[in-house]
Amino acid sequence: MPAPNIDAALKNLASTGDTEKLTRILQTHIDDSAYFHWDQLRHRTPPQKWTHEDWWLSIKFRRRQQRRTVRLRDKSGSNFSYVLTDKILEACEEISSRASGQVAAAERVLTTQGRDKYIVKSLVEEAITSSQLEGASTSRRVAKELLETGRDPSDKSETMIFNNYVAMQYIKETAQDELTPERVLHLHKMLADGTLDDPEDAGRLETPDHTRVSVWDQDLQVHVPPPAEELPQRLQELCDFANGTSQAGRYLPPVVRSIIVHFMLGYDHYFIDGNGRTARALFYWSMLHEGYWLSEYVTISRILRKAPSKYAVSYLYTEDDEGDLTYFIHHQLDVFLRAMNDLDAYLSAKSQELKSVRAALQSEGLNLNHRQIDTLEWLAREESHSITVQSYAKKYRIGDQTARNDLNEMTQLGHVIAVKIGRANHWRANPNLQKTLGL
């Protein structure tokens, strides 16, 4: 539900001559910590026997006093703005502490090798869920097999996922570089290659010759992006903003900057398709560029995919309410913190799993030799670890047949499973290793 016109409401109230009511509405402190949009506020009971319109007028008056503009424009040419709420301050402080510091990973869950492996796992997860968020229908199992084996994609859905994985690797490698329109176009080309009706649209801004992309909810047009003629200039302004070269005056928290970059890619709709994937990829670039290295480990698209309507509504609330980015910022801060909590839960579970496996392997009565015990502990540390007959034989300086016997014995016991990659068997820890060890 669109919000009432505040300027018109103020004018109408002033015209009544009821200065006492006007003063009360404008000066009474109202709790705005929830930062409701009109569409949410109209379903709640207003304070002090006010009307909903009075309540909204009081809230909006204070938001206007507190808002901070950014040098990015909506379709009318007005600057977007946001309010630096307590929620934003608290969330930014928490993210800065957790995402730019050190991970307290007990039992060295993130070893030097393990960190790289987990980053790959996160890239795979983000590639899959970001593509699924925009229509890719491949299952996670098939998508993981595609990315792990390196085979060629077989359809559009697999191509979207493969492209997203490659693009996320590119983001990681170029995070310290300045953002330019050329880099954005190159990123989109990587993401959209082989997925569009016209291959020439990959890495190309929409032009006035295109039928401009808009956003629909069934038969309702909910967003019309700026004219295509403005896109080159708007993209340059966005790059300047992302690089921190266009913001003078008030301090802008780096996390908020990254979230606004995410928003603007979706709002401006630069491309015929793939705007959402590009937006989320550039959010990761911005977070890494600002020094939040832990962003490599988190997967925001998995959380967005669980509640896509909230993601969309946060865009709509901003556009409907005078370009107030606070709605979108609040939503994305919640998403990122949840993603970080998912990482913490993984580390905690992985640490406990390693402790249990290590204790079981060191217990008496386990009919395994020292090579097998050492290998199982290493394989259990990271699910992507694998070993071949040749690498096992080389590691323990034994013959291939002895290595094969060790691995086959562990396979028969159910501790490891053999996966065919190319012509060779690769042994990995059974996902149910704790159960096979009797835990």
Q: How far apart, in Å, are the Cα atoms of 183 and each of 8, 330, 431?
A: 44, 28, 40
Per-residue pLDDT at 109? 46
Per-residue pLDDT at 103? 47
Q: For 365-374, how does the pLDDT look when each residue is reduced to its tens digit (9 = 90+)? A: 677 888 998 8
What pairing do the DSSP bridges indicate for beta strands 215-217 and 220-223?
antiparallel
Q: Which of 80-89, 119-128, 211-220, 399-408 has the lowest mean pLDDT?
A: 119-128
- Higher-confidence residue of 213 and 74: namely 74
Per-residue pLDDT at 69? 94
DSSP per-residue codes, 108-159: GSS-HHHHHHHHHHHHHHHHHHHHHHTT----HHHHHHHHHHTPPP-SHHHH
The amino acid at residue 314 is S
In whole angstroms, give the CA distance from residue 191 to residue 206: 16
Which band of pLDDT confidence, cut at 50, 70 and 90, is reported for residue 3?
A: confident
Q: Read off the pLDDT of each residue in 21-40 and give the average, rounded to a whole number.
A: 89
Q: For all residues of the chain together, what is the average pLDDT?
A: 86
Q: For 291-348, how does the pLDDT look when each residue is reduced to its tens digit (9 = 90+)? A: 887 787 788 888 888 888 899 899 999 999 999 999 999 999 999 999 888 878 877 7
Q: For 195-254, how does the pLDDT look when each residue is reduced to its tens digit (9 = 90+)? A: 999 999 999 999 998 888 777 777 888 888 999 999 999 999 999 999 987 566 678 999
Q: Read off the pLDDT of each residue in 383-409 and give the average, rounded to a whole number.
A: 91
DSSP per-residue codes, 335-399: HHHHHHHHHHHHHHHHHHHHHHHHHHHHSTT----HHHHHHHHHHHH-TT--B-HHHHHHHHT--
Per-residue pLDDT at 133? 78
Listed residue (45, 28, 3) closest to 324, CA to CA: 3
Q: What torsion do the CA atoms of 70, 72, 74, 78 make, to the nearest 10 degrees? A: 60
Per-residue pLDDT at 38? 96
Q: Could you give all domains of the chain from N- to C-terminal order, each with its CATH number?
A: 6-66 (no CATH), 86-346 (1.10.3290.10), 364-436 (1.10.10.10)
Per-residue pLDDT at 323? 96
Q: Read off the pLDDT of each residue in 245-267 and give the average, rounded to a whole number.
A: 88
322: which DSSP letter?
T
Per-residue pLDDT at 265? 95
Per-residue pLDDT at 248? 60
The amino acid at residue 259 is I
Per-residue pLDDT at 240? 95
Q: Helices 156-173 and 140-149 meet at what angle, rounded to 10? A: 60
**Res. 120: pLDDT tops 70:** no
At 295, list the tokens.
């962003």
Instruction: Give the other-Cβ count within 10 Å of 173's Cβ.
Output: 10
Per-residue pLDDT at 108? 45
CB 211 within 8 A of CB 317: no
**Res. 101: pLDDT tops 60:** no
Per-residue pLDDT at 377? 84
**Res. 74: pLDDT tops 70:** yes
pTM: 0.80
Per-residue pLDDT at 121? 64
Q: Read off the pLDDT of each residue in 133-158 and give the average, rounded to a whole number.
A: 79
Share of residues in the chain with pLDDT > 70 (%): 92
Q: Read off the pLDDT of each residue in 12-37 and give the average, rounded to a whole number.
A: 86
At residue 417, φ and ψ (nearest 5 deg) are -130, 145
- Higher-confidence residue of 59 and 138: namely 59
